[in-house]
Structure 1
Amino acid sequence: MNSSQQSDPQRGFPAPLPWLTRAGAAPHVPGSPPEIISNLRAVLAEIARDGTIDRPFTWPDAGTSISLRKAVHALGTCGLVKREGRPTRLSLTDEASYFLDSGDELYLVALFHAHIRFFGEALAALGEGLTHNELNEVAAEVYGLKWDSLDQVRRRVYWLRAAGLVDYWTNGKIVPAERGLRFLERLELVDPDQLPHHHSGQIPELPAPPALLAAELAGVDQDALRSRKRSLGYVAGGTRVEALARLVNAAVPAIKRSDFRAFCSGEFGVLESSAEQTLGTLRSLGLLTQVGTDTFAATELAKSCLASDEALDFVRLLHLNVALLGESLDALADEAHTATLLRVLAERYPDVHLTREDVTRRIALLLETGLAERIGLTVRRTELGASLVNTLPLLDRVTSGLPENADQGIPRGSSAAEPRAVADAGQRSFGSVATEVVQAATDSADYQRFERAVAAAFDALGVDVEMHSGPKKTDVVIELWQSPTDRQRVTVEAKTDGAGLVTDQDVKFWRLGEHRERHMAQSTLLVGPQFDARVTQEAAREKVALITARELADAVVRHSRTPLSPREIAAMVTAGEDAESLALTWRAAERRQQALSLVLHTLWKSGNDPVDIRYTTGVLGISDIWRETKGALETPLDSSEIEEALTFLGTPLIAGVERQGGNHVVTAPPSLAAARLRALAAVIESTGLDGPPGRPSGEGPPTPPGRSSPESPENPSVPRQQDSDAGVTPSLIRAWAKAQGHAVNERGRLPQDLIKKYKQVRGHG
């Protein structure tokens, strides 16, 4: 060990963060234990040189470039990198700069220990030696970290091996080295008996809310709970109780707009435009109110929360103004991933459309206030959270069809009820498919279960699916419709692993190439629970796309809310495609939905506000709508987004908005607009199932879960393969032949060998 690698005793180790605020995931850097620290230094040096977030970066010896954003994302929250400014740039923390200059490996591990759960604790737990499985059991049973696979334990062991703190023996034991034992003496370790997952069985005593807030909570009704805003909105300093309290306190007794901007810039280092967004958010959250031409003050409810100095009172107040905040806490009675919580909320409250980002921000607030806790990759409420949720007024759940107190805009017995029930059933079916994909990925005793789950997932994504399976055969072939003469074929290999990690011993890449050629496919996709670094590197060299079961499940849930076309889905299953481009496409589609909802509800609110009706007859211009909605989203809508939403809402099919000169007025309640869209969807789907005139029904679009379709006897969620000649028509064969470069006549009988080849490729007969 050279002198540059020795710890500087004068520097001291970073103080560990509170357990609940530490990250659950350890950083991932490609390479073996002898390589990962030098690879980490390489990416840190690149950030120090140029922090442009989307420029290309190549790991040493990797050969392929990725974006710096992706490389840093794999590091997680470990205290090394900061994101600053707009557009976002990366920079090193002081601790990262010290490590880069000194090469102090012990300081690096101590920094990880300070920011990540079960780092120093893993080293201490080894005793005289444990296997990865045994160490994973300690993480679950003693520290409440119930991981789906051994990946997180392996990551920690890799870093400990890289720093020379443990040895890995040929019998599979991880054993502390002498250096590791000395290092332990300098660490501050958490006491597992004091961790939140050790439930005492006693119900915590809640502080009583201030009288004014208690009266407000007692008086809230279902209409008020339904009218809460969906988005938390942007807040300088983050949506944290501490930041909210500082901002509210600045407005006591009152504050001018210019002074508020200056306060936000000075306290949180944000731009004036961000301070203006913060002002709009605080008003929409019921924390600030306008008291003069350009003057604002804390509301009485917000001042009562300040006076009580209880974080829970801010949560109670936010619950009155933020949709499904307390309801999210209610849904966390059991451990759940973010995607699972999103699905549960959608099933319980189908009229409130939250995005994954919305749910993530609610979870962050619940974690910060100790109402919820992270257990590995999942979240559950604490005893304190359970006590609080029992005192909050909650929105009634929808159990089937329409709720008993449904929106009055949809009359009982109207045609809207049936489409909504179908939509709800579809949501539940998509959620079941997503859950099965994740669970089947680690069921190595039944590998065909995972193959069926993967096939069902791609069917839910709206692409054509062929099941094959069997020895030396590919598992699934999917076909993505690009245009009438262009379909992209992808062979899909589904790999299970009981420990949750697919290694290079599990994959024969040369055989994947054979499968691709046999099925005349353009690309190959490998699906598994997780992949080790060698599989990732080999897949990049062989142009094989990788997707984890969790990513595929999340895509199914997201697609159920915001469907993408097969052409857009192609980015997810094709090697070399930028995954970020798919994420941008999805975010853009979700934002159009948000814009549509915000614009319509804003016009509806104005059309039912006595003051607005008196002075403007409920008519709003684009600038009026922008002003009313700017606090609802982190990035306010621009005029073109508002105009696009108004144009769509004004079409005869929706007839929800009418233009009056340069302004607009609402002509139908949001619930009726939604009912018309659901009814339109039902008509399109029912027509599509029968197929267009002159075409056999088998040629209709793929049937997503939730609609009637032939089902496999082995697994009802997976469609059966088509009968020998079902869906085989001259028009399809001609389109396929042209896409493959075969000469074919537009009319007349098709050659038998061409028909035979088409059937073989498509899995018919």
Structure 2
Amino acid sequence: MKDIDADPLVDRAFTWPGAEAPASLRQVLYYMGNCGLFVREGRPARVLLTPEARHFLDTGDVAHLVAVLHAHVRFVGETLEAIGEGLTYDELNGIAGDDYGLNWKSLDQVRRRVHWMRGTGMVEYWTNGRIVLTEDGRALLSRLTLVRPSDLESQRQAAGLPTELPEPPRLIAERLGEVTEEELQERKRVVGYIAGGANMTALSRLVDAAAAGLSRSEFVRFSAETFDVSKSSAEQSLNTLQGLGLLTQVGPDRFAATDLAAEWLDSGEAVDLVRHLHLSLALLGETLDAMESASDSGTLTALLADRYPTAELTRKDVTTRVALLAETGLAERVGNVTRRTALGTALAGSLPLQARHDVRRDGAPSGAETAAAEAGQGLLLPERLAAEVVASSTDSANYQRFERALADAFRYLGMDVEVHSGPAKTDLVVTLWLSPSSRRRIAVEAETDGAGLVTDQDVRFLRLSEHRARHHADRTVLIGPGFDARVFREADKEDVALLTAKQLAEAVVRHSAYPLYPHELVALLLAGRADALEHTWSEAERRTGALALVVDAMWKSANDPADVEFGAGALDVRDIWRETKSSLETPLEKKEIEEALAFLGSPCVSGVVKLGGDHAITAPPHLIAARLRSLASAIEKQAGSPDGRQDATPHPIPASPAPVHDGLPGTDASSSDIEPAKVRAWARTAGRPVNDRGRLPESLIREYKRHHGHPTD
């Protein structure tokens, strides 16, 4: 809390007291979850202390801290009540499962809660293995409002039965009654940016402010001041709210709440907001309908892909919908999964849903599997593959499922995979082709955990080095749903990279949109962190976006009568910069525009022709895209095996693995290859002191290389 209070930026390093190496603050906040102590806002991303957290810092009131955790985390105050005259960890875990539906497969979750209570003096741990309340614990327990097992049992009994569902307002009811299947299929997939987040509080404040009408500048000023965001972000919020049907333009420069949104504001019912959003947001009600049983976002993503293969929701899309449904009381979180409430069940049964296309009963492939096969991507679409990686990581009863998912993921990323498993063997070995003379061989150890957290008791680090030697690998990466702090410390000592299933899944999804080469992806396994690739992916996305913007600007000019009359529809670099600058928060640089023009003007593409100092487009954008696709098809056909699939036959591995880039013609892995500007940018983000000019310290360059997976020798 003190560290965040001093520096609220999220994308930086954070060092735990007593730790030798820093961690990513973003990752730390992910592990903290929604604990009621922090709130995120703004761009660049910042995290601020809540009033409750500041009160604890100012007063040191540990009872207040426990009360805050109790208000945001399940089975905290209830743990104190359950302990009574004394319980063992096993007995406490049994109560969590039998009475509260928290079916944790290990004692880790109850141990954490007991450790919190011991640290704050609420309980004691006796040598006979029993946990006993202290006087402070009893005093706090008398002040807390607790959830009773009987309340939860009645919810479970009512989950499949009708419940009292508020009647929809007239206009919303009429719109729900007349919506067509075609309209349901055309709903937008991405929610979009909303100042304050995609939650009911932010939405109600923004829509209510504009209910009677606001000019664009007034709305932007209100959003920026209320949620402490930039004006460009506030502008994006206005576009998002229009896309969701909550705001509409009512004048040349004036916006107001739509009639349906006004009905929601008048009723104040959360279900009316979801009813309204269901009309414009793809598979919102369908996500609620799919939550018949407790599921995580990965499982829901795969299920929705089976039922609605054309919608193509990503795991991030599903997570956003689940969060909204949970906040509005239509779903509830239980550990790492979410399930429908009785109210959610009733609403799901009342909404018009998109027609389903499930897997056929005769075992024939579903629409998603067929589409994937036609696209030459194997058995799974990237989103479904990513969802399976995450879901299988917590399936402790079937560890081979996780191994299969990892093997599929690495193959999708373009790596050769050997599956070993079994005693005295690593689970997988992946090989990355980096150049004609350089390959990296990585031993992959897979660890599942039902509670979502691998502890040091689950990993035998000594055996990992033995496995690495047995399979002639030069690096080991450990993959699991999550890791506790001790695993991070041991992994650092043993030079083992750690990668979560979620990080690998996100890499798969991003790779589907912006494929990286093996020598770029190697950082994922050497550094063991997906954020090691963030700069590489950002650059790829930026280049792709620049190309699209340049083509769009040139096509518009070529079809503008005024431009055609006075300039033959041709543009120079400055013209293109001027046309595209409002489309990006950071406008394109001259070099980026020139690179895009050079690519488009190459003989293979011939999409742009140079006219003196100007450039003119030679074909519509969709035909340029078609030519690029034909180039890709020709390369794949020539490089593939006779059946059109990539040759997966392993190639011989050099006896001594070479550094990452050594085999590439004309390259050298020395520090001269490292751009000082990139090192300085990374150092500032990581909180490292760095000079603005002059020679960079070798120690900083080595640390930069290590972070990004480059050889340091």
Fold in common (TM above 0.5): yes
- Aligned-residue identity in percent: 51
Structure-2 change in CA distance of 1:157 and 1:553 (3 Å) = farther
Counterpart of 1:739 in structure 2 is 658
Q: Check conservation: 1:237, 1:268, Cα contact below 8 A.
A: yes
* C-alpha deviation, 1:443, in angstroms: 4.1
Query: 3-state DSSP class of the match of 1:291?
Result: strand
Q: Check conservation: 1:231, 1:358, Cα contact below 8 A.
A: yes
Counterpart of 1:485 in structure 2 is 437
Structure-2 change in CA distance of 1:419 and 1:432 (3 Å) = closer
- Residue 332, structure 1, aligned to residue 302, structure 2: no
CA–CA separation in structure 2 for the residues paired with 1:681 and 1:510: 45
* C-alpha deviation, 1:278, in angstroms: 2.2
Counterpart of 2:354 in structure 1 is 395
CA–CA separation in structure 2 for the residues paired with 1:220 and 1:623: 43
Query: 3-state DSSP class of the match of 2:255?
Result: strand
Counterpart of 1:198 in structure 2 is 156
Which stretch has the larger CA shift, 590-599 or 322-331? 590-599
CA–CA separation in structure 2 for the residues paired with 1:598 and 1:373: 42
Counterpart of 2:380 in structure 1 is 427
- Residue 109, structure 1, aligned to residue 66, structure 2: yes
Q: CA RMSD in A?
A: 4.9
Query: 3-state DSSP class of the match of 1:74?
Result: helix
Query: 3-state DSSP class of the match of 2:198?
Result: coil
CA–CA separation in structure 1 for the residues paired with 2:313 and 2:61: 45
Identify which of 53, 57, 61 aligns with 2:14. Answer: 57
Which stretch has the larger CA shift, 371-380 or 429-438? 429-438
CA–CA separation in structure 2 for the residues paired with 1:297 and 1:368: 25
CA–CA separation in structure 1 for the residues paired with 2:178 and 2:586: 33
Which stretch has the larger CA shift, 537-546 or 58-67? 58-67
Structure-2 change in CA distance of 1:151 and 1:48 (3 Å) = same
Which stretch has the larger CA shift, 264-273 or 277-286? 264-273
Identify which of 497, 508, 516 aligns with 1:545. Answer: 497
Identify which of 97, 105, 127 aligns with 1:140. Answer: 97
- Matches for 1:401-416 after TM superposition, within 5 Å: none
- Residue 690, structure 1, aligned to residue 648, structure 2: no
* C-alpha deviation, 1:203, in angstroms: 0.9
Query: 3-state DSSP class of the match of 1:193?
Result: helix
Query: 3-state DSSP class of the match of 1:198?
Result: helix
Query: 3-state DSSP class of the match of 1:175?
Result: strand
Q: Check conservation: 2:503, 2:530, Cα contact below 8 A.
A: no
Counterpart of 1:258 in structure 2 is 217
Counterpart of 1:385 in structure 2 is 344
Structure-2 change in CA distance of 1:232 and 1:663 (3 Å) = farther
Counterpart of 2:698 in structure 1 is none
Query: 3-state DSSP class of the match of 1:397?
Result: coil
One-letter identity of the residue aligned with 1:582: L
- Residue 81, structure 1, aligned to residue 32, structure 2: no
* C-alpha deviation, 1:363, in angstroms: 1.8
CA–CA separation in structure 2 for the residues paired with 1:665 and 1:304: 51
- Matches for 1:434-453 after TM superposition, within 5 Å: 435=388, 438-439=391-392, 443=396, 451=403
Query: 3-state DSSP class of the match of 1:275?
Result: helix
Identify which of 519, 523, 528 aligns with 1:567. Answer: 519
Query: 3-state DSSP class of the match of 2:172?
Result: helix
Counterpart of 2:108 in structure 1 is 151
Q: Check conservation: 1:343, 1:557, Cα contact below 8 A.
A: no
- Matches for 1:31-430 after TM superposition, within 5 Å: 44-147=1-104, 149-170=106-127, 172-195=129-152, 197-200=155-158, 201-399=160-358, 421-422=374-375, 426-427=379-380
* C-alpha deviation, 1:419, in angstroms: 7.1
Query: 3-state DSSP class of the match of 1:125?
Result: helix
CA–CA separation in structure 1 for the residues paired with 2:340 and 2:579: 38
- 1:107-159 CA-partner distances (Å, limit 9, x unpaired): 32222112222111112122344443443343333333344544332221211
- 1:58-81 CA-partner distances (Å, limit 9, x unpaired): 222221122333333332222323
Any unmatched runs of 5+ in structure 2? 361-369, 556-574, 664-713
CA–CA separation in structure 1 for the residues paired with 2:626 and 2:399: 42
* C-alpha deviation, 1:261, in angstroms: 3.0
TM-score computed with the length of structure 2 as normaliser:
0.73
* C-alpha deviation, 1:366, in angstroms: 1.4
* C-alpha deviation, 1:160, in angstroms: 1.1
One-letter identity of the residue aligned with 1:143: Y
Q: Check conservation: 1:113, 1:119, Cα contact below 8 A.
A: yes
One-letter identity of the residue aligned with 1:360: T
TM-score computed with the length of structure 1 as normaliser:
0.69
* C-alpha deviation, 1:545, in angstroms: 1.1
Q: Check conservation: 2:443, 2:475, Cα contact below 8 A.
A: yes
CA–CA separation in structure 1 for the residues paired with 2:33 and 2:177: 42
Q: Check conservation: 2:600, 2:606, Cα contact below 8 A.
A: yes
Structure-2 change in CA distance of 1:205 and 1:603 (3 Å) = farther
Query: 3-state DSSP class of the match of 1:164?
Result: coil
